[in-house]
Structure 1
Amino acid sequence: MIQTAKLQPGDCGALILSPSRELCSQIVTVIKPFAEKLNLTVETVTGGQKVDKNIKMFKNKNINILVATPGRLFQIIQHEKTLIARKMKSVQLLVIDEADRFNEIQFEDQYVLYFHFYSKIFVFSMREILSCIPKQRRTGLFSATQVKEEDDLMVFGLRNAKQVKVSQERNSAAPSTLKNYFVECPADEKTSVCLEFIRQRTDKKILIFFPSCNSVIYFQKIFERCLGKRPLFAVHGKCSNPHRASQIKAFSENTNGVMISTDVMARGIDISDIDWVIQFDLPKHSSWFVHRAGRTARCGREGNALILIATEQLAYVNFLDNHEKVKLEAVKVPTNTSRKAEELRQKMIKIQCSDRAILEAGTRAFVSHIESYAKHDCHLICSLDDLNVVGLANSYALLRLPKMRELSQRKDLDQFDRSDIETSEIKYANPKLEANRGTAMKEKHEKKVETLAAKEKKRKEKEARKLKRMGGRFRNGSGGGGRKEEEKRALKRKSEEEDDAKNDLRLLKNIKRGKLSKKEIKDVL
Structure 2
Amino acid sequence: MSLASQVGAVATRTFREKLGPEILEVFDKSYKNFTDVQVLSGTHLLNNHDVVVESPTGSGKTLSFVLPLLRILQNSPEIQKNQEIGAIILSPSRELCNQIVSVIKPFGEKLNLSVETVTGGQKVEKNVKMFKNRGVNILVATPGRLFQIIQHEKTLISRCLKSVQLLIIDEADRFNEIQFEDHMREILSCIPKQRRTGLFSATQVKEDDDLVVFGLRNAKQVKCAQERNSAAPSTLKNYFTVCEAEEKTSILLEFIRQKTDKKFLLFFPACNSVRYFQKIFERCLTKRPLFAVHGKCSNSHRAAQIKGFSDSSNGVMISTDVMARGIDISDIDWVIQYDLPKHSSWFVHRAGRTARLNNCHMSRFLDKHEKVKLEEVKVPTHTSLKSEELRQKMIKIQVSDRAILEAGTRAFVSHIESYSKHDCHIICALDDLNICGLANAYALLRLPKMRELTNRKDLDQFERSSIETSEIKYLDPKLEKQRGEIMKEKHEKKVEVLAAKEKKRREKEQRKMKRFGGGRGGRGGNLKKNENLKRKRSEDEDDTENDIRLLKKIKRGKLSKKEIKNVL
TM interval, short-chain normalised = 0.7 to 0.9
Question: Aligned partners of 2:485, 2:182: CA distance in 1, in Å?
Answer: 42
| 1:351 to 2:397 alignment | yes
After superposition, residues 262-411 of structure 1 pair within 5 angstroms as: 262-294=320-352, 296=353, 304-309=354-359, 314-411=360-457
- SS of 2:242's equivalent in the other structure is strand
Partner residue in 1 for 2:121 = 48
| 1:205 to 2:255 alignment | no
1:197-225: CA deviation from partner (whole Å, max 9, x where unpaired): 00011111100000011110000000000
Question: Aligned partners of 2:419, 2:182: CA distance in 1, in Å?
Answer: 27
The CA RMSD measured in Å over matched residues stands at 1.8
1:110-143: CA deviation from partner (whole Å, max 9, x where unpaired): xxxxxxxxx2xx3222112111111111100011
Q: Give the letter aligned to residue 208 of structure 1.
A: L
Question: Aligned partners of 1:50, 1:340: CA distance in 2, in Å?
Answer: 49
Give yes or no for contact 2:419–2:428 (8 Å, CA) kept in 1. no
TM-score (norm 2): 0.71
Partner residue in 1 for 2:249 = 191
Question: Aligned partners of 1:89, 1:423: CA distance in 2, in Å?
Answer: 60
1:309-357: CA deviation from partner (whole Å, max 9, x where unpaired): 3xxxx31111111111111000000111000000000000000000000
After superposition, residues 224-239 of structure 1 pair within 5 angstroms as: 224-239=282-297
Question: Aligned partners of 1:150, 1:444: CA distance in 2, in Å?
Answer: 59
Deviation at 1:444, TM superposition (A): 8.0
After superposition, residues 411-426 of structure 1 pair within 5 angstroms as: 411-426=457-472
| 1:73 to 2:146 alignment | yes
Question: Aligned partners of 1:367, 1:10: CA distance in 2, in Å?
Answer: 50
Deviation at 1:39, TM superposition (A): 1.2
Give yes or no for contact 1:236–1:261 (8 Å, CA) kept in 2. yes
* Structure 1 runs not aligned, ≥5 long: 107-118, 297-303, 449-525
- SS of 1:359's equivalent in the other structure is helix
Give yes or no for contact 1:180–1:305 (8 Å, CA) kept in 2. yes
- SS of 2:198's equivalent in the other structure is strand
Question: Aligned partners of 1:333, 1:2: CA distance in 2, in Å?
Answer: 54
1:223-282: CA deviation from partner (whole Å, max 9, x where unpaired): 000011210000011211111111011111111100000011111111011110000001
Question: Aligned partners of 1:196, 1:132: CA distance in 2, in Å?
Answer: 53
Question: Aligned partners of 2:492, 2:424: CA distance in 1, in Å?
Answer: 40
1:33-80: CA deviation from partner (whole Å, max 9, x where unpaired): 111111111111111111111111112241111111111111111222
Deviation at 1:402, TM superposition (A): 0.9
* Structure 2 runs not aligned, ≥5 long: 1-71, 495-568
Which stretch has the larger CA shift, 314-323 or 348-357?
314-323
Which stretch has the larger CA shift, 373-382 or 257-266?
373-382
Q: 2:111 is matched with which residue: 25, 30, 38?
A: 38
Deviation at 1:25, TM superposition (A): 0.3
1:68-101: CA deviation from partner (whole Å, max 9, x where unpaired): 1111111111222222222222211100011111
Partner residue in 1 for 2:518 = none
> Deviation above 6 Å: which 4+ runs of structure 1?
442-448
Partner residue in 2 for 1:476 = none
- SS of 1:305's equivalent in the other structure is coil
Give yes or no for contact 1:11–1:62 (8 Å, CA) kept in 2. yes
TM-score (norm 1): 0.77
Q: 1:447 to 1:244 in 2, by over 3 A?
A: farther
Partner residue in 2 for 1:496 = none
Q: 1:441 to 1:21 in 2, by over 3 A?
A: farther
- SS of 2:185's equivalent in the other structure is helix
Question: Aligned partners of 2:438, 2:324: CA distance in 1, in Å?
Answer: 24
| 1:5 to 2:76 alignment | yes
Give yes or no for contact 1:233–1:258 (8 Å, CA) kept in 2. yes
- Structure with greater Cα Rg: 2
Give yes or no for contact 1:10–1:87 (8 Å, CA) kept in 2. no
After superposition, residues 431-470 of structure 1 pair within 5 angstroms as: 431-441=477-487
Q: 2:93 is matched with which residue: 5, 20, 37?
A: 20
Q: 2:237 is matched with which residue: 171, 175, 179?
A: 179
- SS of 2:147's equivalent in the other structure is helix
Deviation at 1:3, TM superposition (A): 2.0
Partner residue in 2 for 1:163 = 221
| 1:221 to 2:279 alignment | yes
After superposition, residues 76-115 of structure 1 pair within 5 angstroms as: 76-103=149-176, 105-106=177-178
Question: Aligned partners of 1:265, 1:377: CA distance in 2, in Å?
Answer: 20
Question: Aligned partners of 2:485, 2:349: CA distance in 1, in Å?
Answer: 45
Partner residue in 2 for 1:64 = 137
Question: Aligned partners of 2:132, 2:83: CA distance in 1, in Å?
Answer: 9
Question: Aligned partners of 1:186, 1:307: CA distance in 2, in Å?
Answer: 13
- SS of 1:185's equivalent in the other structure is coil
Question: Aligned partners of 1:64, 1:250: CA distance in 2, in Å?
Answer: 32
Q: 1:228 to 1:325 in 2, by over 3 A?
A: same
Question: Aligned partners of 1:267, 1:92: CA distance in 2, in Å?
Answer: 26
Question: Aligned partners of 1:318, 1:161: CA distance in 2, in Å?
Answer: 33
| 1:243 to 2:301 alignment | yes
Question: Aligned partners of 2:271, 2:479: CA distance in 1, in Å?
Answer: 22
Question: Aligned partners of 1:75, 1:215: CA distance in 2, in Å?
Answer: 28
- SS of 1:15's equivalent in the other structure is strand
Give yes or no for contact 2:85–2:139 (8 Å, CA) kept in 1. yes
Q: 1:15 to 1:447 in 2, by over 3 A?
A: farther
Give yes or no for contact 2:84–2:134 (8 Å, CA) kept in 1. no
Aligned identity (percent) is: 79
Question: Aligned partners of 1:426, 1:384: CA distance in 2, in Å?
Answer: 31
Deviation at 1:443, TM superposition (A): 6.9
Question: Aligned partners of 2:237, 2:262: CA distance in 1, in Å?
Answer: 15
Give yes or no for contact 2:167–2:195 (8 Å, CA) kept in 1. yes
Question: Aligned partners of 2:255, 2:486: CA distance in 1, in Å?
Answer: 40
After superposition, residues 248-263 of structure 1 pair within 5 angstroms as: 248-263=306-321
Q: 1:77 to 1:282 in 2, by over 3 A?
A: same
